[in-house]
Amino acid sequence: MNHPHVDGSIQRLRMKRFAMAAGTYMLLIVLMWVAYGAGYYRADFFDVWLVSVSVMMSQAALSLVFFSGFNQRFRDSSLTEFQVLMGLGWETFLLYHLDSARGTFLVLYVLVLLFGLFHLPPKIFTRCAVVALLGFTALNLWDAHQGQLSDPGLASLQTSALFIVLGWLCLYARFVQGSRQRMHQHRITLQAHQETLRGMMFQLEELASTDELTNLYNRRHFLRLATRELESMEGSYTAGLALIDLDHFKRVNDVYGHATGDRVLQVFASAASQCLRADDILARYGGEEFVLLIPRCTRAQLIECCERVRLAFEQTDIPELSGLQLSLSVGMTVIERGDDMDRALHRADQALYRAKHHGRNRCYGAWDHVDA
């Protein structure tokens, strides 16, 4: 489905093109009156006035079609072929009433066809050019039949010149449309390459910011996100920060092997992620240590969340390692506006040390030591 804004822009472009065509008709009327005043137009004043009114009414009707949006119901919403054929018809009608000035007004055939040069397919453009040539040829043949062709040689020369000019225009139209088609294809190819490049860049960013084993953020990306969160803190809101260390992880590696250790890290990442909100940030900080940032979090909410993570990990059962006891220790601190991330991490690290010192498998807050 096309975007309404895009459709509106295209429709406005069509209306501008129509306004240019309507302006050309006004110039045609002026030229017709000049030819009449100079004595080259074979009609009386009323006929010239009637033709002028008819041309203006035809353009007024077309303007209603465009301003009402009715033109969008047609396959060619610009009505380019219709407008070109109508312009050729009026031009042929004008030439019919001209005498020796007929050759001067032949250039208007080219002007009308140029309106469709960049918008009509080559076959349709050629068809319009053939209509123009046949119309002018028919005029000369009719005048010859009526005995009104004063200079047959000049008429033949004009017809030949028109044939050459229109033939050249048809060839040029094919060249233009072919170039536009190639440019369009190149643009599509370029867009495809850009989409591929954006996808590759996104994958590189993901690889650069994600820990390959756990699919959590890595330390570098966490610090970038945490710093951004710290800078955007407003008012009295606080955030929760926790350092999490898996208990006796070295023993797991030594007894069961590094493959089992990797499995335990993955199990923790999965269990912890299920306990967190979408905007909570969990990352692998290094080895068996993880870091958690909870935006807009009070002390009570931080304790509740960390306890939930601790219990979820403790209750996780790994079928192939049924005898393995899982536990973790957490050091917690609260970050306030204007706080420093390094100092906050240091407080959480000190709290984690105390959690291990007091027996592991527990959550310990930096405020516990202060309160004590």
**Nearest CA-CA partner of 17 in 106, 99, 84:** 84
**Nearest CA-CA partner of 107 in 24, 44, 43:** 24
Tokens of 281: 């940030």
Torsion sign (Cα): 167, 120, 112, 57: positive
Query: What is the C-alpha separation between 115 and 98, in angstroms, rounded?
Result: 24
Token pair 């969160």 in the structure block, residue? 229
Count CB neighbours of 124 within 10 A. Answer: 17
Query: What is the C-alpha separation between 245 and 362, in angstroms, rounded?
Result: 10
For the question of residue 288 being annotated catalytic, the response is yes
In single-letter form, the type of residue at position 42 comes to R
Distances (CA, A) of 270 to 81, 181, 264, 321: 64, 52, 10, 17
For the chain, how far is it from start to end, CA to CA, in angstroms?
65
Which position among 206, 229, 288, 289 bears the catalytic label? 288
Tokens of 331: 């050091």
Positions marked catalytic: 288
